[in-house]
């Protein structure tokens, strides 16, 4: 149980285009989902926290207009990188947490999405 | 400011040998401490989780210890295997009314050589 998936696992896009990354909780309802970014040889850095049906809360220094987060259902959150630039190339990881049930209060991580902007 | 520091930054050991990774933290109020294994290009996978009252927890060849007084934790890997090559991340949770807030260490990159 407690499986979180991400799609796509890797994506290459041209500079100036937008790319959407999906995060799904497969066997539980995730009231909260988190988006992280990880640069090579560095640890995960929290970008934003999203609660189902509410606007996401962004960490300091993260541009909310550039990284659009939608959490419209209890099993799906999306991160859209708008007008991507090469410096946005990174490994994006989501995690999901339920507030009730056997998976409550634990964050379960997805496998990550490698984004390369050319 | 909540911080988690890990040492060493990287480590190379021979297959079959044991090793110990260290984690020091300044996180308050403390909720729990987790060790994760992250393979290259993959998401973190939980190895152990310990609360304030737990001193040690094992998961197969992985044994984690916690000293809440000195705010130190260690992860001991016994009889290492090539598949243990990965980054090991110490994550400490601070208790918040809205749910725990995680502070990540920078990780220890372990390479196991044949």
Strand partners, A95: A34, A109
* Contact state of B102 with A46 under an 8 Å Cβ cutoff: yes
Select the residue of A32, A43, A106 nearest B105 (Cβ to Cβ): A43
Lowest-pLDDT range of A5-9, A17-21, B42-46, B83-87: B42-46
Quote the pLDDT of residue A99. Answer: 74
Tell me the nearest-neighbour CA distance from A4 into chain B, angstroms.
10
| Phi-psi map region of A97: left, alpha, beta (phi>0 left; psi -120 to 50 alpha) | beta
Residue A15 has pLDDT above 90, yes or no: yes
- Per DSSP, the residues of B26-47 read E-SSEEEEEEEEE-TTS--EEE
The pLDDT tens digits for A76-112 are 999 999 999 999 999 999 999 887 776 667 889 999 9
State whether residue B109 sits within 8 Å of chain A by CB. Answer: yes
Cβ contact, residue pair A105, B109, below 8 Å: no
Alpha-carbon gap: B58 to the closest alpha carbon of chain A (Å): 19
The shortest CB-CB distance from A114 to any of B41, B104, B107 is to B41
């Amino acid at each position: 149980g407690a499986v979180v998936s991400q799609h796509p696992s890797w994506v290459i896009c041209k500079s100036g285009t937008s790319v959407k990354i999906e995060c799904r909780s497969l066997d539980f309802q995730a009231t909260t989902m988190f988006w992280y970014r990880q640069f090579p040889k560095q640890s995960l850095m929290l970008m934003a926290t999203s609660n189902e049906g509410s606007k996401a809360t962004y960490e300091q220094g993260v541009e909310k207009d550039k990284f659009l987060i939608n959490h419209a259902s209890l099993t799906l959150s999306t991160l859209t990188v708008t007008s991507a630039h090469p410096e946005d190339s990174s490994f994006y990881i989501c995690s999901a947490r339920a507030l009730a049930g056997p998976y409550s209060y634990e964050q379960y991580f997805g496998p990550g999405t490698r984004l390369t902007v050319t | 400011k909540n911080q988690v520091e890990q040492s060493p930054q990287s480590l190379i050991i021979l297959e079959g040998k044991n090793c110990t990774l260290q984690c020091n933290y300044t996180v308050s109020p403390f909720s729990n401490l987790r060790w994760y294994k992250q393979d290259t290009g993959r998401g973190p996978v939980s190895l152990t989780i310990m609360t304030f009252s737990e001193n040690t927890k094992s998961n197969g060849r992985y044994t984690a210890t916690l000293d809440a007084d000195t705010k130190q934790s260690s992860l001991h890997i016994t009889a290492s295997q090539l598949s243990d090559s990965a980054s090991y991340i110490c994550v400490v949770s601070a208790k918040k009314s809205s749910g725990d807030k995680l502070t990540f260490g920078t990780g220890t990159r372990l390479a196991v050589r044949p």
